[in-house]
Amino acid sequence: DFSVKDIIKFILSSKKTGTLSISGKVKFYGTIKGKIYFDKGEIINVEAAGKEGESVIYLILMADEGSFSFSKEIDKKVKRKIEKKTEEILLEGRMF
Tell me: the pLDDT tens digits for 45-82?
Answer: 999 989 999 989 998 998 888 899 999 999 989 999 99
Domain ranges for the chain, please list them.
Answer: 4-93
Predicted confidence band at 93 (pLDDT cuts at 50, 70, 90)?
A: confident
Residue 27 has pLDDT above 70, yes or no: yes
- Percent of the chain topping pLDDT 70: 98
**What's the pTM?**
0.92
CA dist., res. 3 & res. 21, Å (int): 13
Residue 4 has pLDDT above 80, yes or no: yes
**Which amino acid is residue 60, in one-letter code?**
I
C-alpha distance from residue 86 to each of 9, 30, 41, 54, 70 (Å): 8, 25, 8, 11, 17
